[in-house]
Chains A and B, each alone.
Chain A
């Protein structure tokens, strides 16, 4: 079982649509969670951190459910420029482990 699992997509949505991505993680000891965005053939860039209380940044809302080991990202009013791969990431720290564990990403294609 992968440590971080995501639906690879692609999610093809029209401009202005609302789209939601989900992600599950297997390590209940994971301490922090993030969504990164990766454009084609570019490096990952931090989109937002994910907190248990949920957090919002403009059109983007992230939620964490520790009981279900589940993370979500909601994008409202999709723009063409939102087209990218969205990587769900858990941070495992402590002991001999100190690293980010990436999911394989969910591809979003926003259509005009």
Chain B
């Protein structure tokens, strides 16, 4: 059974058109993360939530926002996607911060036209 679910798996949007990616988890984990992975590059952490506490990475552009309305769901909003935002977006969860294993969802591949 899938534990970290991402929808949609593939998303096509137009330059500048807002888009929302969804992540849900059945693990009841406290922490949810969003990573961006561009082709042939390492996954890069954008931000994470510990429960309702939001933690933004210093170099995450303002164009990227996130919402976590409850424990199970977390959303990534890209307000004005640029061509450079085309990437795989990976959601991950962990029970706690620190050394707890992170479980990744299958990712959403975003194409910007």
B42 engages A102 (CB within 8 Å): yes
B101 engages A46 (CB within 8 Å): yes
List CB contacts (< 8 Å) of B75-106 with chain A: 88, 90, 97-99, 101-102, 104-106
Q: Scan A73-112; emit 1 where CB is below 8 A from any B CB, else 0.
A: 0000000000000010001010010111111110000000
Residues of A within 8 A of B101 (CB): 46
A91 engages B45 (CB within 8 Å): no
- Of the four ranges (under 10, 10 to 19, 20 to 34, 35 or more), the interface on chain B belongs to 20 to 34
The number of residue pairs between A and B whose CB atoms lie closer than 8 Å in the complex comes to 47
Nearest A residue to B40 via CB reads A104
Residues of B within 8 A of A18 (CB): none
Tell me the minimal C-beta distance from B84 to chain A in angstroms: 18
Tell me the minimal C-beta distance from B88 to chain A in angstroms: 8
Q: Scan A40-78; emit 1 where CB is below 8 A from any B CB, else 0.
A: 011111100000000000000000000000000000000
Tell me the minimal C-beta distance from B91 to chain A in angstroms: 9
A44 engages B90 (CB within 8 Å): yes
Q: How far is the CA of A96 from the CA of B56 in the complex (A)?
A: 10
A42 engages B106 (CB within 8 Å): yes
Residues of B within 8 A of A46 (CB): 101-102
Nearest B residue to A2 via CB reads B42
B42 engages A105 (CB within 8 Å): yes
B42 engages A4 (CB within 8 Å): yes
A44 engages B41 (CB within 8 Å): no
Residues of B within 8 A of A41 (CB): 88, 109
List 7 tightest A-B contacts by C-beta distance, closest first: A102-B42, A43-B104, A99-B45, A104-B42, A98-B97, A93-B98, A32-B99
Could you tell me which B residues sit within 8 Å of A by CB distance?
33, 40-45, 48, 55, 57, 88, 90, 97-99, 101-102, 104-107, 109
**Given A43-B105, A104-B40, list of 16 further CB < 8 A pairs?**
A4-B42, A8-B40, A41-B88, A45-B104, A87-B42, A91-B99, A98-B48, A98-B98, A99-B48, A100-B45, A100-B102, A101-B42, A103-B42, A104-B41, A104-B42, A105-B42
